[in-house]
Amino acid sequence: MKNNFDINVLSGNLLPVMETFQTIQGEGYFKGSSAYFIRIGGCDVGCHWCDIKESWDYNNYNFQNVNDIVNKINSKSKIVVITGGEPLMWNMSALTTILNNKDFKTHLETSGAYPLTGNWDWVCLSPKKNKKPCTDSFKIASELKVIIYNKSDFEFAKQMSEEVSSDCKLFLQPEWSNREKMMPFIVDFILKNDKWRVSLQTHKYMNIP
């Protein structure tokens, strides 16, 4: 029989929170917008170029009650971004229900590697080669953001774009450490494929979280 802790984790009432912060959304469709971020611990996708590897082990973070997480929000922005790690390792239903009831706009950043849970106003799907997205993630994706580390990622981006809806916004984003090398190829690709846009990690250029 599961104990109360396990039951609350499975139901999504407890989540391992790495950090929360108010900042400017630096990437994708909503870049430049004020947003409150909730970063959830835990990820097993294992991108070698990940710049937040400290998020991978959820055991490093305390599980917090979702009511406490929401009550700590002190933000004039109505956008709350749930990111990671990989948030969908956990049940997001309880957290997003409370946020929706308080009139926050719920934005998800996910690789799509786990089944979708939660109620979302916007879903940024950023698929990875080593752990492909679940089918339901493609169906609900508001934007598709593919990280470009090498030339083979362009073909991967094309494959992923065939899975999302025609309304989904398409973005190519250079991996930060390789951006100077890959940017000319991204520019050339988008000039030939005008349904795509460039996403930059503008928060890093501005030196903000």
Domains of the chain in sequence order: 4-205 (3.20.20.70)
Q: In Å, what is the CA distance from 27 to each residue of 20, 81, 103, 143, 173?
A: 17, 12, 23, 11, 8
Report the pLDDT averaged over residues 116-137: 95
Per residue in 16-54, pLDDT (tens digit) is: 999 999 999 999 999 999 999 999 999 999 888 888 899
pLDDT for 5: 92
Per residue in 138-192, pLDDT (tens digit) is: 999 999 999 999 999 999 999 999 999 999 999 999 998 889 999 999 999 999 9
pLDDT for 171: 98
Cα–Cα distance for residue pair 71/28, rounded to 1 Å: 27
pLDDT over 80 at 2, yes or no = no
Per residue in 91-123, pLDDT (tens digit) is: 999 999 999 999 999 999 999 999 999 999 999
pLDDT over 90 at 204, yes or no = no
pLDDT for 209: 74
Model pTM score: 0.94
pLDDT for 74: 86
